[in-house]
Amino acid sequence: MKSPSPLAAVVAKNLRYEVMDGTIPVGSALPTERALADRHGVSRTIVREAVATLAEEGLLILRDRCRPIVADQIRRSIPTSRSPNLAIWLWPYADDYIASSIFRGIQRAARGTHARLVMASASHGSWDDVLESEARFLRGLSGDVQIDGAILWYLGSERNLPALLEAKRNGVRFVFVDRKPPEGFEADYVGTENLTAAQNLVNHLLELGHRRITFVGNIDKASSVAERAAGYRRALEEAGRWPDGDMTVLHDQLDGESEATAARRTAETILAQQPRPTAVFAVNDIVALALFEAFRDLGVRVPEDISLVGFDGLLRWVPGGSQLTTAVQNFARIGELAAEMLLQNIGNPASNTFRHILLDAPLSVANSSAPPG
């Protein structure tokens, strides 16, 4: 089968998914060439080339003086002339422990499938720079006829939703990792049972005897952050230990501010709370480690003066990380499941069933948490 031109390949992919999801039902005729050309912004010659491609795949039946008809027997896989191509968007960069762990899982799932993996990650700079680099990645998917699907660690919330929807309209299948798809966008998702794991962390501190526990969040609007905050609240409420006043602190690194300075500012805010908390639950291990060092610089000992717990399990792999009590996420398994789901979806484009898979993050108790002094 001769490969179509790039524009014809885009039109063919769009029509293929419209047929597979029932937008153009089996047995019905395609819209006219003129209507298709107007809809896709291409010439009628390009439309004819796209139709010929789908006819060769067995998706359409061509008859003289009739519009193409959608075949009864639909081939439910990508063209056999090539292997699937998967785009991967990870945060914050390729050699980060979490991102590289997810990618190892993806590689494990793709082994033996002949899938081609194309990985990208966010640019460094301000948060606006990060979100704009993600938008460019999504726009690139829309114009890349070789990409069949993407595994996405999505950061853009509502801001990048238009680019996300455009890629979906252009036939790209998505599986989200770590954080759920934005509201109103249906897609598969593999992540962690953040709420339960966060609740277990706070229950651990309660069982040690802590009653004043501060939650340190960040500016990220991700579902995972919201779920950890919800787990914190649920644990305190179910134990009947909800404190007087707001015990939540926001950790935010200002433009031009070093990480150490931001962590010291956050630590000082925590220590200024009255009465002073005896324990801190940080939204992730990176924040927890930064607070650990800031407390030390301020002459506050962990856990003698204040207990500290994090979330992720990644700091077991850096100096001093084994000291941190945390919830351990299985990042490699998240990547593996995401790739398996995406390859299944590409092989069965008619499916409109979306799955959300949540993995446990078991509690790992170390010496950063102890009974209040």
Kindly list the structural domains of the chain, giving each domain's residue range(s) and its CATH number in brackets, ordered by start: 6-70 (1.10.10.10), 85-190+332-359 (3.40.50.2300), 194-329 (3.40.50.2300)
Q: What is the pTM (predicted TM-score) of this model?
A: 0.77
Residue 321 has pLDDT above 50, yes or no: yes
Compute how many other C-beta atoms are within 10 angstroms of the C-beta atom of residue 25. Answer: 9
Residue 356 has pLDDT above 90, yes or no: yes
Three-state secondary structure readout of the chain: CCCCCHHHHHHHHHHHHHHHCCCCCCCCECCCHHHHHHHHCCCHHHHHHHHHHHHHHCCEECCCCCCCEECCCCCCCCCCCCCCEEEEEECCCCCCHHHHHHHHHHHHHHCCCCCEEEEEECCCCCHHHHHHHHHHHHHHHHHCCCCCEEEECCCCCCCCHHHHHHHHHCCCEEEEECCCCCCCCCCEEEEECHHHHHHHHHHHHHHHCCCCEEEEEECCCCHHHHHHHHHHHHHHHHCCCCCCCCCEEEECCCCCCCHHHHHHHHHHHHHHCCCCCCEEEECCHHHHHHHHHHHHHCCCCCCCCCEEECCECHHHHCCCHHHCEEEECCHHHHHHHHHHHHHHHHHCCCCCCCCEEEECCCEECCCCCCCCC
Q: What is the mean pLDDT of residues 189-212?
A: 97
According to the model, what pLDDT value does residue 79 have? 47
Residue 336 has pLDDT above 50, yes or no: yes
Give the pLDDT band (50/70/90) at residue 94.
confident
Closest to 106 (Cα-Cα) out of 149, 151, 172 = 151
Over the chain, what is the mean pLDDT?
Answer: 87
How many Å apart are CA 277 and CA 275, to the nearest integer? 6
The amino acid at 319: P
**pLDDT single digits (tens) 252-285:** 888 788 889 999 999 999 999 988 999 999 999 9
According to the model, what pLDDT value does residue 21 have? 59
Q: Which of 54-63, 230-239, 322-331 has the lowest mean pLDDT?
A: 54-63
| Most confidently modeled range among 24-28, 29-33, 115-119, 305-309 | 305-309
According to the model, what pLDDT value does residue 233 have? 94
Give the pLDDT band (50/70/90) at residue 320.
low
| Greater pLDDT, 293 or 65 | 293
* Distance, C-alpha 154 to centroid of its chain: 4
According to the model, what pLDDT value does residue 245 have? 66
Residue 74 has pLDDT above 50, yes or no: no
